[in-house]
A and B are shown apart, each in its own frame.
Chain A
Amino acid sequence: MEFLQLLINTAALGAAYALVALGFVWVLNATSAVNFAHGDLVMAGGFVALALAGMLPLPGILLLPLVLVLMAGLGLVFSLLAFFPLKDRPPVSVFISTIALGIIVSNGASAIFGAEPRATPPLFAGGVVALGGLPGGLIVSRQAIAVMLVAALLIAVQYLLFARTQFGRRLRATAQDRDMAAAIGIPVDRMIALTFALATALAGAAGLLLSNSFFVSPTDGMNYMVKAYIAVTIGGWGSIAGAVAGAFLIALFDVMLPGLPALLPALGALPGADWLFSQTVATILLYVLLLVILVLRPQGLFGEAVQRRA
């Protein structure tokens, strides 16, 4: 039963991470630049939800549309500050400009909301629910199930948007080859600005979803950014499906490793178990895994080797 509970937690966390990674990879594809502030935008989404909840005592699910709209607006501003002034420069310039904006966002959040971790309201209701019928009774948190469902819904809407609409086709064309898209009359700059808006809205949604169980504090951005970065690296640079798969792998790591002693009490009895099965060690191992993957497959787990044209 513990295993099933952990699995549901993994699925919820993985779905939220997938939202983060998808926003990251859309901007990456559209601009070929890494958005180093993407994690800070997730954090900002959490705080926007928190501020809204302070004004409107509503459940999270009703705040979500507002968060999406506000964060999309922030994404537009973000692209005007960090991307468009540098769009003809080497990608490393955008990398640095997003580092700069990330610092501004995270310290801005700290100035406004203070450094303490805070929790956003749950999507529907808090607490746990016993899933009926099963011997022993499977007890899961309502929020975990809600996060899973809402994230799945957002991913599905996104899929339809990109796969089935003319707007989505234009976005994909822009992401694939900016010059070619411009040549066939797609307003590339507008598409890129919209990509930023969409990616930031997704980040904001993830912030709302994650900040109930995991709280939100101004320094969280780095963690989320690195998770998205790793998910995209594992999944293959620029691959959409790969980014989602990478996000779930990371969630598996995050949830299962610290959860191992609960599954196998024998492990918990080992000397130094508290130390070994901690979140910190899980994160260290995740980084080590990333380095190993980069060494063995510099093109990512699922990526294809790209050959350089001379």
Chain B
Amino acid sequence: MSLFAALAAATPTLLARQARAARAWLCHGIRLPLLVGAGLLILYPVLFGSPYHLRLLTVSGVYVLMVLGYQLIFGQAGALALTQGAFFGLGGYATAILGSRLGWGFPATFPLSISLPVALAALIAVPVLRLESHYFALATLGISQILLLVAIKWEALTGGSNGLTGVPGIVLFGAALPRGWPLLLAVWGMVALGAALAWRITRGRIGRAFHLMRENPLAAQSVGLDTGRLRLVALLLSAAYGGAAGALYTHTMRIVSTEILEFSVMVACLTMTVVGGRTSIAGAILGGVLLVHLPEWLRFLDRFYLIGYGALLLLMIVVAPFGLIGALERWRAWFVPEALPDAPPPRAPPARRPAPDIARDTAPLLAVRGIDKSFGGLRALAAVDLSVAAGEIVGLIGPNGSGKTTLVNVVTGVYRPDAGTVALAGQSIAGCTVHDIARAGIARTFQNLNLVDDMTALDSVAVARRHDGDLAAARGHAMALLDRLGIAAIAMRRCGGLAQGLKRRIEIARALALEPRLLLLDEPAAGLNPSEQRDLAARLRALAGEGLSLLVIEHNMPFLMTLAGRLVCLDHGQVIAAGTPAEIRRDAKVIEAYLGIVDDAAPAFGGAQPA
């Protein structure tokens, strides 16, 4: 009886709590407007059910599918590919040729219309993907133009400028899908599938990896991300989406002509992506639906509605570079701040990997032998030798331009040395890629700070946790690392607005997230006040106590004196002295190298702080 009474009394509060939770969920971010938008999209064909409107919405779905794919290469991977129209056209032609000439059915033509563009993407990937931005855009444009010209020229296959007619509709399990509602639902069903796949791929850690890669490829490689592979996957997937969209377009139109290979298709796709938003699924849907309907609203421009397209594209890129969905997110954050800020995840210290027992090894952990590196006529490094033992902290000093950062770049694989060897734990790493070296156990920070402004401190670290199964685990581990560096309090802040000292420590945490054996720090104390410097030195000593080796570039001698057991001094690319801090301090050549040059970066022997 009393139990029943308790239940009866508890139910309203339980319901109230659920209602509160639902409300909190709904008010988070831009969920409410997105849900309203989704509702309107569903209402649209129900209210305006004319064949004309159903067809417009079907075509919208086709474009949304193409844009979802384009978002992967352009939005996620950040590569301005101009091939999406070509993938679309190739998929369309495959469906038309196989369907109308050979009479093949949908179950055969659809997979082929997807695989052909993917095969083309794989074919062009090797030469094209390593090109820098503008060359990449031109090369992809060239490929698209070749496809268009071939379609015009190869009349026997493609019907030339007249195109092909009589493309069959979709027939599935013996049932033909007529135009109108059935085709509409089939196309939007594919959109749903495509959106689900894109969502699975880009949410979580991989999404963060793409974010870091497009903003800062070098930083991405330094945390062990294979940027080439990420770009390849994005290109292949975009081709698959483009091919599927082209096939569905041809099934909808029942004809195909060279128009679908023209640059205007690519422009339409680009415009939809920029207008909707480059990375969000809602953006793809909004952009696709909006821009397919735009010509209808711009009827007064007659067939020059493309002027409207151009004006809209220009306006969006200037006013709202993140697209309508991105603008909505930003407005929400500015005008209606979240009632409850995102809570940081609980700390989960990563399980330590069993450290290889190098202490008993006679070989040093890092062995650099006879490194030469020239840039044009400038010899930046000349026969440099350097070694770091396990658990040792080595300081690397030298005037500006003496080759310190160049040496770090050689060790981490950014530069290829002209001569010499680099070995980690006895294994040569010369010629390895940046991400392979990072994975092998050498992590670094950057003198000029390579963080992404609109990424949180937490995610900046979590992105480096390649082995963690999901984002939640990676964030838990990242939280523990931020805590180790004493900056757990800023975990949910975005990096852009943080002080330099905090950014440096985020970079150190990110480097530690790799669980490296050797950590290369490029001026870690710059921008830190004296008490912060002492704090950082204590934390770094603790890390070394656990067996981590450190190579620290620093101009700040008081900081380095308390930290490093051994110093190496570079001047004009050569090692001019090596020894204990006390020895180095007295070394005539070191004093000359610093004092012989008028240099504001001369080490502060007296204890004054450099700027």
Question: A residues near B, CB below 8 A?
Answer: 34, 81-82, 85-86, 89, 91-93, 95-97, 99-104, 107-108, 110-111, 222, 226, 229-230, 233, 237, 275, 278, 280-281, 283-284, 287-288, 290-291, 294-295, 298, 307-308, 310
- Asked if B137 is at the interface (CB within 8 A of a chain A CB), the reply is yes
Question: 16 extra interchain contacts, Cβ-Cβ under 8 A, other than A222-B263, A290-B138?
Answer: A96-B317, A97-B314, A99-B270, A99-B313, A100-B311, A100-B313, A103-B309, A103-B313, A104-B314, A108-B307, A280-B152, A284-B153, A287-B143, A294-B139, A298-B131, A308-B218
Return the contact of A100 from the options B131, B137, B153, B314 (Cβ within 8 A). Answer: B314
Which residues in B have their C-beta under 8 angstroms from that of A281?
153
Report whether B149 and A96 are in contact in the complex, using a CB–CB cutoff of 8 Å.
no
Report whether B304 and A110 are in contact in the complex, using a CB–CB cutoff of 8 Å.
yes
Report whether B139 and A290 are in contact in the complex, using a CB–CB cutoff of 8 Å.
yes
Report whether A229 and B138 are in contact in the complex, using a CB–CB cutoff of 8 Å.
yes
CB distance from A99 to the nearest CB of B (A): 6
Report whether A96 and B270 are in contact in the complex, using a CB–CB cutoff of 8 Å.
yes
Report whether A275 and B145 are in contact in the complex, using a CB–CB cutoff of 8 Å.
no
Report whether A95 and B132 are in contact in the complex, using a CB–CB cutoff of 8 Å.
no
Which residues in A have their C-beta under 8 angstroms from that of B143?
287, 291
Report whether B138 and A230 are in contact in the complex, using a CB–CB cutoff of 8 Å.
yes
Which residues in B have their C-beta under 8 angstroms from that of A107?
304, 306-307, 310
Report whether A288 and B146 are in contact in the complex, using a CB–CB cutoff of 8 Å.
yes
Which residues in B have their C-beta under 8 angstroms from that of A99?
267, 270, 313
Report whether A291 and B133 are in contact in the complex, using a CB–CB cutoff of 8 Å.
no
Report whether B306 and A92 are in contact in the complex, using a CB–CB cutoff of 8 Å.
no
- A230→B141 CA distance, assembly (Å): 11
Which residues in A have their C-beta under 8 angstroms from that of B446?
310
B344-379 interface bits toward A, Cβ cutoff 8 Å, 1 = contact, 0 = none: 000000000000000000000000000000010000
Report whether A226 and B153 are in contact in the complex, using a CB–CB cutoff of 8 Å.
no
Closest to A222 in B: B263
Which residues in A have their C-beta under 8 angstroms from that of B274?
96
CB distance from A85 to the nearest CB of B (A): 4
- Asked if B409 is at the interface (CB within 8 A of a chain A CB), the reply is yes
- Asked if B415 is at the interface (CB within 8 A of a chain A CB), the reply is yes
CB distance from B157 to the nearest CB of A (A): 13
- A92→B77 CA distance, assembly (Å): 13
- Asked if B105 is at the interface (CB within 8 A of a chain A CB), the reply is no
Which residues in A have their C-beta under 8 angstroms from that of B307?
103-104, 107-108, 111
Which residues in B have their C-beta under 8 angstroms from that of A108?
304, 307
Report whether B131 and A294 are in contact in the complex, using a CB–CB cutoff of 8 Å.
yes
Report whether A226 and B310 are in contact in the complex, using a CB–CB cutoff of 8 Å.
no
Closest to B416 in A: A307
* Most chain B CB atoms below 10 A, which of A81, A93, A107, A230: A107
- A308→B406 CA distance, assembly (Å): 12
Return the contact of B130 from the options A85, A233, A237, A298 (Cβ within 8 A). Answer: A298
- A222→B82 CA distance, assembly (Å): 13
- Asked if B543 is at the interface (CB within 8 A of a chain A CB), the reply is no
B145-168 interface bits toward A, Cβ cutoff 8 Å, 1 = contact, 0 = none: 110011011000000000000000
Task: Evaluate whether A85 and B135 lie within 8 angstroms (CB atoms) in the complex, with A104-B307, A287-B142, A310-B414 already known.
Answer: no
- A283→B148 CA distance, assembly (Å): 11
- A85→B314 CA distance, assembly (Å): 10
- Give the size of the chain B interface in residues (CB under 8 angstroms): 44
Task: Evaluate whether A280 and B270 lie within 8 angstroms (CB atoms) in the complex, with A95-B80, A101-B314, A107-B310 already known.
Answer: no
Report whether B145 and A310 are in contact in the complex, using a CB–CB cutoff of 8 Å.
no
* Most chain B CB atoms below 10 A, which of A230, A287, A288, A295: A287
Closest to A229 in B: B138
- A68→B145 CA distance, assembly (Å): 31
- A155→B242 CA distance, assembly (Å): 44
Task: Evaluate whether A280 and B80 lie within 8 angstroms (CB atoms) in the complex, with A97-B318, A110-B304, A111-B304 already known.
Answer: no
Which residues in B have their C-beta under 8 angstroms from that of A34?
134, 137
CB distance from A232 to the nearest CB of B (A): 9
- Asked if B180 is at the interface (CB within 8 A of a chain A CB), the reply is no
Report whether A104 and B311 are in contact in the complex, using a CB–CB cutoff of 8 Å.
yes
Task: Evaluate whether A226 and B142 lie within 8 angstroms (CB atoms) in the complex, with A233-B135, A294-B131 already known.
Answer: yes
Closest to A99 in B: B267
Report whether A291 and B153 are in contact in the complex, using a CB–CB cutoff of 8 Å.
no
Which residues in B have their C-beta under 8 angstroms from that of A290?
138-139, 142
- A287→B146 CA distance, assembly (Å): 7
Closest to B305 in A: A107
- Asked if B606 is at the interface (CB within 8 A of a chain A CB), the reply is no
Closest to A108 in B: B307
Report whether B138 and A233 are in contact in the complex, using a CB–CB cutoff of 8 Å.
yes
Which residues in B have their C-beta under 8 angstroms from that of A93?
317, 321
Closest to A84 in B: B318
Closest to A102 in B: B310
Closest to A95 in B: B80
- Asked if B127 is at the interface (CB within 8 A of a chain A CB), the reply is yes
CB distance from B411 to the nearest CB of A (A): 12
Closest to B139 in A: A294
B286-312 interface bits toward A, Cβ cutoff 8 Å, 1 = contact, 0 = none: 000000000000000000101101110
- Asked if B115 is at the interface (CB within 8 A of a chain A CB), the reply is no
CB distance from A123 to the nearest CB of B (A): 31
* Most chain B CB atoms below 10 A, which of A34, A233, A294: A294
